[in-house]
Structures are given as structure tokens and as C-alpha cells.
């Protein structure tokens, strides 16, 4: 009898990891083999899914695991993307090994500054302040033309140059595999973080902050570090996105991006590790289909998705999938 994964207590996290490696092997195999036969359009959709999956998982570190509802996570995504654009287009730094660390560092510094301001408040206020800070970056990006190229942003960002002729990432398929490798590494790191004492402390803060404080934890510092780490992973996804899309614009820093990634996390299931990636996959898929069929009405469809997601799938589809999978597994083992 599998324990019911109640969302209010949200304790299934430890169980899902130790259960079995099979789902991971299957998912990885599918993600490695499937692209070889996909048409190019769907290959780009799959690349987007991995990039936004990583982005959504990074928000989940603070949102799902620590309980900090940030509506400004696009800031780090866009910041890293912008630094990539500035490094490559403005300063002509071609090497990925220089531009990417700069981007991640930029995201980390942004998070470190924003964190000091935003973590003075909690709850709804935290959401308001992160939202305002994200919009601050957005307005800087729009107004500071000499550095950010204003409203149009940077265009013509090439594929990453890894400095090895063997690893030329020029073709979409090669770039996909590059994104896959980065995604896999980040997934591994985030899962390790999640299982570490640090990750457990974050869960503790989400469940009962006052108790953690009484136990002697420096709650503020834990939140602050989690916020920066989440910002860095968001930065990684932003760099991948800038190279993939070839451009970065103010909207990537602002409300639209931050709200979209929040929807991915809630729709996929905040608190589970891979649920947000699933939510990202769902949103990106629907977005790509809608933009083919009814581009002008996409915002409305997105809005309706928000409403349906909140009213119908509160707690996310991730936990539903876990439950179904468990049921399948247990019935299978009974038969054998």
C-alpha cells in the first residue's frame, strides 16, 4: 500500500528517489534516442523543454523546497542571458568557458543583491518585492540603450564555442545534446542538493520556520544561500536559452518570464524534484502548438491554462504521475 502523497504534508520526496533508477534510465534513453528521428521543429521544442525544465527546477529550489514564492525569477534567467549577449556581441568573447561563468556569476551577484532586499520580508510581501525587483531589471534593460541595446535586446548570439573542433555545436541536433548534458549535470547537482542536510534544512524551514530557528538554524542564511543557488541554476538555463534562441530581450527579465516559470512549477508540482520539469514540458508543448495554430490568441490560452491549472491541478500533475506509476509498479510486482 503506497502512502498517499498528500500535498499539504509533502513528504514523498525521499521515497521517490530511493525507489528505483529505472525511470531515470528510461527517460534518459528516450531523450537521447528520440531526437535522432524528430523533425527539426520538434527538436527545437524538445530543446526548449529541457532549457525551461532546468529553469523551472531552479525556481523550485526556493519555491517548492523552501517555500519562498518568488515572482522575479526571470531576473536571473535574463541577467545571465544578457551577460552572454554582452560578452559575445559587444566584447567579442567567443569562448564559452569565459562567457558562461561570467553569466552564472552575474546571476549569482544579482541574486545576492536582490536576496538582501527581498528576504527582509516574507509571504505575500516577498512575492511583491521580487516582482518589483524583476521589473526594475526589465526597465533598466529597456532604458539603458548603450549597454543593453534597448527594447530589441541582443540578436545574433551564436552557438557556444567550446574551443574544440570536435565539439562544434553549430547544428541543432548537436546543440540539443549539449543542452541535454548540461541539464543532466544540473539535475544531478540539484538532486544531491535536495538530499543533503542543507536540502533537508530547507524543507524544515518550509514546514515550520519557527521550529528550525529554535533548533539553532540560521534560517535567514539558509534562505539566502538557497536563493543564490536557485539564481545560479536559473542563470545556467538563461545562458542555454540565449545561445539557443540567438537573442535576448527585456521581456526575458520581467514579469512574463517569471510568471510563466511559476506556472510551470505549480502545474508540475512544487516540492517534487522533476515535477517542475514536467510542467515546463507541458507548457512549452502547448505553447508551440498554439503558436502554430492561433498565435494571436496564445495569451488567452495561456491565461485559461493558468486558471485550469490552479483550479483543477492544485498541487501539480507531478504527484499524480508518481501515484499512478507506483500503482503500476506495485500491481506488476504482485503478478510476478
Binding site for another protein (CB under 8 A): 63, 69, 71, 117, 120-121, 123-125, 127-129, 131-133, 135-136, 139-140, 143, 255, 259, 262-263, 266, 270, 297, 299-300, 302-307, 309-311, 314
Q: How far is the CB of 123 from another protein (least distance, A)?
A: 7
Q: How far is the CB of 134 from another protein (least distance, A)?
A: 10
Cβ closest to another protein, residue 163 vs residue 303? 303
215 exposure class (CB count in 10 Å sphere: 0-12, 13-18, 19+): exposed
CB of 255 to another protein, least distance (A): 6
Q: Shortest distance, CB of residue 266 to another protein, whole angstroms?
A: 6
How many whole angstroms separate alpha carbon 111 and alpha carbon 89?
A: 24
Least gap, CB of 105 to another protein (angstroms): 23
What crossing angle do the helices spanning 96-118 and 124-143 adopt, rounded to 10°?
130
H/E segment holding residue 247: strand 247-248
Q: How far is the CB of 175 from another protein (least distance, A)?
A: 30
Using the structure block, give the residue that is written with the C-alpha cell 570536435. Answer: 166
Chain center to CA of 307: 21
Cα 125 from Cα 228, distance rounded (Å)? 19
**Grid coordinates belonging to 26:** 528510461
Cβ contacts of 325 within 8 Å, gap of 6 or more: 23
We find the least distance from the C-beta atom of residue 148 to another protein, in angstroms, to be: 14
Nearer of residues 125 and 188 to another protein, judged by Cβ: 125
Which is closer to another protein, CB of 132 or CB of 328? 132
CB of 170 or CB of 299, closer to another protein: 299
Q: What single DSSP character describes residue 68?
A: -
Minimum distance from residue 262 beta carbon to another protein (Å) = 6
Identify the burial level of 147 via C-beta atoms within 10 angstroms of its C-beta, where 0-12 means exposed, 13-18 middle and 19 or more buried. exposed
CA–CA separation, 330 vs 89, rounded Å? 54
Nearer to another protein, 103 or 309 (CB): 309
Name which of 90 and 139 has its Cβ closer to another protein: 139
Closer CB to another protein, 94 or 314, in the complex = 314
> Which lies closer to another protein via its Cβ, residue 54 or residue 133?
133
Non-local CB neighbours of 220 within 8 Å, separated by 6+ positions: 119
Q: How far, in Å, are 21, 58, 128, 199, 311 from residue 135 at the CA level?
A: 41, 20, 11, 29, 27
Instruction: Please answer whether residues 32 and 93 qualify as being in contact, where contact means their C-beta atoms are separated by less than 8 angstroms.
Output: no
Amino acid at each position: 500500500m503506497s502512502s498517499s502523497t498528500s500535498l499539504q504534508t509533502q513528504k514523498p520526496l525521499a521515497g521517490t528517489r530511493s525507489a528505483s533508477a529505472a525511470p531515470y534510465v528510461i527517460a534518459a534513453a528516450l531523450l537521447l534516442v528520440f531526437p535522432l528521428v524528430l523533425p527539426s521543429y520538434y527538436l527545437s521544442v524538445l530543446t526548449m523543454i529541457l532549457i525551461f525544465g532546468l529553469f523551472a527546477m531552479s525556481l523550485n529550489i526556493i519555491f517548492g523546497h523552501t517555500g519562498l514564492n518568488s515572482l522575479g525569477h526571470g531576473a536571473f534567467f535574463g541577467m545571465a542571458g544578457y551577460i552572454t549577449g554582452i560578452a559575445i556581441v559587444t566584447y567579442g568573447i567567443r569562448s564559452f568557458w569565459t562567457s558562461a561563468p561570467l553569466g552564472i556569476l552575474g546571476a549569482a551577484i544579482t541574486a545576492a543583491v536582490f536576496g538582501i532586499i527581498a528576504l527582509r520580508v516574507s509571504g505575500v510581501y516577498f512575492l511583491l518585492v521580487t516582482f518589483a525587483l524583476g521589473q526594475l531589471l526589465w526597465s533598466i534593460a529597456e532604458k539603458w540603450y548603450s549597454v543593453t541595446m534597448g527594447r530589441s535586446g541582443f540578436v545574433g548570439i551564436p552557438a557556444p564555442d567550446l574551443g574544440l573542433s570536435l565539439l562544434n555545436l553549430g547544428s541543432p541536433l548537436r546543440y540539443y545534446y549539449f543542452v541535454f548534458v548540461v541539464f543532466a549535470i544540473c539535475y544531478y547537482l540539484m538532486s544531491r542538493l535536495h538530499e543533503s542536510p542543507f536540502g533537508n534544512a530547507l524543507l524544515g524551514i518550509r514546514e515550520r520556520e519557527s521550529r528550525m530557528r529554535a533548533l539553532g538554524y540560521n534560517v535567514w542564511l539558509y534562505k539566502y544561500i538557497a536563493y543564490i543557488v536557485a539564481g545560479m541554476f536559473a542563470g545556467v538555463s538563461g545562458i542555454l536559452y540565449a545561445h539557443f534562441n540567438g537573442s535576448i530581450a527585456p521581456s526575458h527579465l520581467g514579469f512574463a518570464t517569471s510568471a510563466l516559470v511559476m506556472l510551470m512549477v505549480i502545474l508540475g508540482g512544487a516540492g517534487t524534484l522533476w515535477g517542475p520539469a514536467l510542467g515546463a514540458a507541458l507548457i512549452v508543448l502547448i505553447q508551440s502548438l498554439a503558436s502554430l495554430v492561433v498565435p494571436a490568441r496564445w495569451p488567452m490560452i495561456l491565461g485559461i491554462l493558468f486558471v485550469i491549472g490552479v483550479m483543477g491541478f492544485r498541487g501539480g500533475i507531478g504527484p499524480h504521475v508518481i501515484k499512478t506509476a507506483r500503482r503500476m509498479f506495485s500491481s506488476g510486482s504482485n503478478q510476478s
